């Protein structure tokens, strides 16, 4: 253990295993202890201010000190701090939030099941699909289609759907029947000389080839983030989602939109499915649902799915799935108030306006020696760092330069995320023009300092 003087850091190193962290490196480095937040900023225990340019974990819409959410939690704590939703029990906050989600989501999504996280929600989707198909006398219809670099969570089933190596490595995943299709990112996965339109057609042909090879009667669902986020901020090529939707309808496959990051205005539209013009059978929501002030997620799904499940509960006696905190009254009360704030303050509209400013500002760095591609939509963006711009050659090993940029970001007072060597940005929906301009300026300094680091270390 290193000789850190800070007792919180020492206690953390001595007692905690952190998610998505190299534990041995953490023992040497210690944590950045965040003590408070205000607006788009957070402050460490020494008082240093940081722009939280990833909104926590892609998730804080209304900023880090919204008093209305604190008051909503306090009032609900006083009235009913906890109750469950098993065996015909209910309470007003979860009922009202379910109503609100049915109202907000695309036409045809009329039923809601609550969990506490996106991972639990996607796990629930897998079980719902299996339960539904057993109920319909289709016991072989159990496989899923997902994508390389897609992110859907980390439980056994949702981690299997995820298409990232570190989420599978040494966890014995995938543990369910899932086929990972080509990542729909033209810059990295397009063939040399292949246009975006040709790339789209190749991916759709690949998807149908897999469906026909496996048999449509064996495929339960296709799951995808409308814009892939945690895998590296990758918008889909034009026509991709319309084509995937047509394939799912043709072959009777459930279309599942993982909106955990995209939802509630992140792309400048209400939901990613709306942004890209397709209608899913199931939508998975979390993160900005409560601005992550409380853990909450929701599966919103069609009446067709509900009827198959409900009929089966009538036959066998129950839907044998649920969580102690499903529809937790404090979490759902906070979610309701959070959605009211998003609507009252037109934060989805703000994401459209500020997102355009963010994307335009960051694209000035497209000619930076380190930057291979600047990409994104609305208030989510990524800058992929490369060793050679012309050939798109990645750094070796991937991630070392991204980690350096991430740590330089802390020094510059801005928290970003490095996904390999892609630098991800996803600021809260409340950002102003001044905030965006400062984020863009600090990103420029991060890139220049990272370039100096690369040159000094001889990494190109």
What structural domains and CATH numbers belong to the chain? Answer: 32-62+346-457 (3.90.1150.10), 68-344 (3.40.640.10)
At residue 6, the pLDDT reads 59
Burial of 142 (0-12, 13-18, 19+ CB in 10 A): middle
Confidence class of residue 3 from pLDDT cuts 50, 70 and 90? very low
Q: Give the whole-number percent of the chain exceeding pLDDT 90.
A: 98
Read off the pLDDT of residues 301-348 as tens digits, 9 standing for 90 and up.
999 999 999 999 999 999 999 999 999 999 999 999 999 999 999 999
At residue 1, the pLDDT reads 38
CB 208 within 8 A of CB 253: no
Taking the C-alpha atoms of residue 115 and residue 122, their distance in angstroms, rounded to an integer, is 10
Taking the C-alpha atoms of residue 88 and residue 125, their distance in angstroms, rounded to an integer, is 21
More confident residue, 5 or 253: 253
Tokens (6 digits) for 168: 């599978």
Three-state DSSP at 453 gives helix
Residue 67 has pLDDT above 80, yes or no: yes
Residue 377 has pLDDT above 70, yes or no: yes
Read off the pLDDT of residues 70-110 as tens digits, 9 standing for 90 and up.
999 999 999 999 999 999 999 999 999 999 999 999 999 99
Confidence class of residue 5 from pLDDT cuts 50, 70 and 90? very low
Give how far the C-alpha of residue 293 lies from the chain's centroid of Cα atoms, to the nearest Å: 16
CB burial of 193-208 (b: ≥16 within 10 Å; e: otherwise) equals eeeeeebbbebbeebb
Q: Which residues pair with 112 in a beta bridge?
A: 300
Residues belonging to the chain? 460
Read off the pLDDT of residues 379-435 as tens digits, 9 standing for 90 and up.
999 999 999 999 999 999 999 999 999 999 999 999 999 999 999 999 999 999 999
Taking the C-alpha atoms of residue 70 and residue 340, their distance in angstroms, rounded to an integer, is 14
Taking the C-alpha atoms of residue 8 and residue 116, their distance in angstroms, rounded to an integer, is 28
Q: Which residues contact 259 (CB under 8 A, 6 or more apart)?
A: 225, 226, 271, 272, 273, 283, 284, 285
At residue 219, the pLDDT reads 98
Taking the C-alpha atoms of residue 377 and residue 357, their distance in angstroms, rounded to an integer, is 11
Tokens (6 digits) for 429: 């929906």
CB 300 within 8 A of CB 109: yes
What φ, ψ does residue 415 adopt, rounded to 5°? Answer: -95, 115
At residue 460, the pLDDT reads 79
CB 335 within 8 A of CB 97: yes
Tokens (6 digits) for 443: 């990103």
Three-state DSSP at 272 gives helix
Do the strands 109-115 and 49-52 form a parallel or antiparallel pair, or are they unpaired?
unpaired
Q: Which residues pair with 414 in a beta bridge?
A: 51
Name the DSSP letter for residue 274. H
Cα dist from 355 to 38, 147, 352, 361, 447, whole Å:
21, 26, 5, 10, 20
Q: What is the residue-averaged pLDDT of the chain?
A: 97
Residue 2 has pLDDT above 50, yes or no: no
């Amino acid at each position: 253990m290193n000789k850190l003087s800070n007792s919180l850091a020492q206690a953390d190193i001595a007692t905690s295993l952190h998610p998505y962290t190299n534990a041995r490196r953490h023992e040497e480095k210690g944590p950045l202890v965040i003590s408070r937040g205000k607006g788009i900023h957070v402050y460490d225990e020494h008082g240093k201010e940081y722009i939280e340019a990833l909104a926590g974990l892609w998730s804080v819409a209304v900023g880090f000190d919204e008093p209305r959410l604190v008051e909503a939690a306090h009032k609900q704590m006083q009235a009913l701090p906890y109750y469950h939703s098993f065996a015909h029990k209910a309470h007003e906050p979860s009922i009202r939030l379910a109503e609100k989600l049915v109202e907000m989501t695309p036409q045809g999504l009329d039923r809601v099941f609550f969990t506490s996280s996106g991972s639990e929600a996607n796990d629930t989707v897998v079980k719902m699909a299996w339960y539904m198909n057993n109920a319909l006398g289709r016991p072989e219809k159990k496989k899923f289609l997902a994508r390389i670099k897609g992110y859907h969570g980390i439980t056994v089933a949702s981690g299997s759907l995820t298409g990232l190596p570190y989420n599978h490595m040494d966890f014995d995943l995938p543990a369910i029947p899932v086929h990972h299709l080509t990542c729909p990112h033209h810059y990295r996965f397009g063939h040399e000389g292949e246009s975006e339109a040709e790339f789209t057609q190749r991916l759709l042909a690949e998807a149908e080839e897999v469906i026909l090879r496996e048999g449509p009667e064996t495929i339960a669902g296709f799951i995808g983030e409308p814009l892939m986020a945690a895998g590296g901020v990758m918008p889909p090529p034009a026509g991709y989602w319309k084509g995937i939707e047509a394939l799912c309808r043709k072959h009777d496959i459930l279309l599942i939109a993982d909106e955990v990051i995209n939802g509630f205005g992140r792309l400048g539209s209400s939901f990613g499915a709306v942004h890209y013009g397709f209608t899913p059978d199931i939508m998975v929501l979390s993160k900005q649902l409560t601005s992550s002030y409380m853990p909450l997620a929701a599966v919103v799904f069609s009446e067709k799915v509900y009827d198959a499940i409900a009929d089966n509960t009538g036959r066998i006696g129950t839907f044998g799935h649920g969580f102690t905190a499903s529809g937790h009254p404090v979490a759902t009360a906070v979610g309701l108030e959070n959605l009211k704030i998003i609507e009252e303050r037109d934060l989805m509209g703000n994401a459209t306006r500020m997102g355009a400013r963010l994307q335009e500002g960051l694209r000035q760095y497209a000619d930076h020696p380190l930057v291979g591609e600047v990409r994104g939509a609305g208030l989510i963006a990524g800058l992929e760092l490369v060793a050679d711009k012309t050939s798109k050659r990645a750094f070796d090993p991937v991630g070392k330069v991204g980690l350096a940029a991430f740590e330089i970001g802390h020094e510059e007072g801005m928290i970003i995320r490095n996904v390999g060597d892609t630098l991800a940005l996803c600021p809260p929906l409340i950002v102003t023009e001044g905030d965006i301009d400062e984020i863009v300026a600090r990103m420029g300094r991060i890139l220049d300092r990272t370039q100096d680091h690369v040159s000094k270390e001889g990494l190109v």
